[in-house]
Structure 1
Amino acid sequence: MARFVEVAKKSQIPENSVIGAEAEGKLLALVNLNGEIYALDDACPHEAGPMSEGAIEGDEIVCPWHASRFDVRTGRVTMDPAVAGLATYKVRVVGDAVEVEL
């Protein structure tokens, strides 16, 4: 059964930036996009580049290794070399706590 797990504080994620987090062994990239928090897999599907070290440009996250781009809101790949999208996770914010559904 899916459940929500606290992974960070919203105050730790500056607006329009990304940080890394871990939830029960799963590495996540948490993005604050214009005040809304999103959670995606931290490993780029191309060659496992750390998405939490990538840049946020508009509504996309850019892989720091080979510049693949993904829509932060959906995980959909928007520019190669990656051909598969990033897995996304449901997020809820309770007070300052960022919780991700696993």
Structure 2
Amino acid sequence: MAEWMDVGEIGELPPGSRKIFNTPYCEIAVFNLAGEFFAIEDVCSHDGGELASGVCEGDQIICPRHGARFCIRNGRALTPPAYEDISTFPVRIENGMVQIDIDD
């Protein structure tokens, strides 16, 4: 069963922005990519370091520690030194509020 958590109003996450949330399970980063919202676990699969403070290029996040790239849309590891994908979470808009499903 879905467990939807409010992230913020749509206006609080303009295109190109990101926001990190602590949940009971993990830290999750929510990105607004040109009006589409995506959520990933904020952890690099290469070494367990945080990921969301890295540079974004298009729909990719670059790990600030070792440069591995991940697709924000689907969590796929795109370049070494990361070979394992990262977790993604469903996102929805409900009454103007961005929500993530933390029970995926």
State the TM bucket, normalised to the shorter chain: 0.7 to 0.9
The Cα of 1:32 is off from its aligned counterpart by 0.8
Segments of structure 2 that go 5 or more residues without pairing to the other structure are none
- Matched-pair contact (CA < 8 Å) for 1:40–1:87: yes
Deviations 1:32-70 (A, max 9, x none): 111111000001111122222112101111111111111
- Matched-pair contact (CA < 8 Å) for 2:52–2:61: no
Deviations 1:56-102 (A, max 9, x none): 10111111111111111110011111110110000001243211112
Secondary structure in 2 aligned to 1:11?
helix
RMSD: 1.5
- Aligned partner of 1:5 in structure 2 is 5
Calculate the TM-score normalised by the size of structure 1: 0.87
Which structure has more strand as a fraction of its residues? 1
The Cα of 1:25 is off from its aligned counterpart by 4.2
Calculate the TM-score normalised by the size of structure 2: 0.86
What are the residue-to-residue correspondences of 1:1-102 with 2, within 5 Å?
1-101=1-101, 102=103
Segments of structure 1 that go 5 or more residues without pairing to the other structure are none
